[in-house]
Amino acid sequence: MSFEISEDFLDRLKSQDQDAFAQLVQQHHRQMIHVARGIIGDAQAEEVVQEAWVSIYRNLTKFEGRSSLKTWMFTIVSNGAKTRLRKESRQVSMADVEGTLSGVPEDLFNPEGGWSKPPPKWDINTPDQLLEEDQLQECIEKTAAGLPEQQRAVFVLREVEQQSLNEVRNMLDLSDSNVRVLLHRARVKLMQVIDRYQETGIC
Amino acid sequence: MLSCQHIAEYATDYVEGRMNFWQRLKFRMHLRACVHCERFIRHMGLTCILSGRCAHQLATQEEVEAVLERIKSSQ
CB contact under 8 A, B46 and A1: no
Whether residue A146 lies inside any domain: the answer is: yes
Whole-angstrom distance, CA of residue A174 vs CA of residue B17? 19
- Gyration radius from chain B CA atoms: 21
> Model's pTM, two decimal places?
0.90
Whether residue A2 lies inside any domain: the answer is: no
Residue A24: which domain range? 7-87
Q: What ipTM, to 2 d.p.?
A: 0.92
Backbone angles phi, psi at A76, to 5 degrees: -60, -45
Between B3, B18, B56, which is nearest A2 by CB?
B56
Residues of chain A neighbouring B64 (CB-CB closer than 8 A): 22, 25-26, 29
Whether residue A32 lies inside any domain: the answer is: yes
Check residue B68 and give its pLDDT: 96
Looking at residue A33, which CATH number applies to its domain?
1.10.1740.10
The CATH architecture to which B4-74 belongs is: Orthogonal Bundle (1.10)
State chain B's mean pLDDT as an integer: 95
What Å distances lie between residue A196 and A54, A95, A139, CA to CA?
43, 27, 10
Nearest to A153 by CA among A40, A26, A2: A40
B54 has a chain A CB within 8 A of its CB: yes
pLDDT tops 80 at residue A122 = yes
Whether residue A93 lies inside any domain: the answer is: no
CB contact under 8 A, B43 and A191: yes
Between B3, B47, B53, which is nearest A131 by CB?
B53
Whole-angstrom distance, CA of residue A115 vs CA of residue A44? 44
Sign of the CA dihedral with A203 first, then A2, A40, and A173 last: positive
Give residue-wise pLDDT tens across range A124-166.
Answer: 778 888 788 889 999 999 999 999 999 999 999 999 999 999 9
* Strand partners for A109: A115
Q: Say how many residues make up chain A.
A: 203
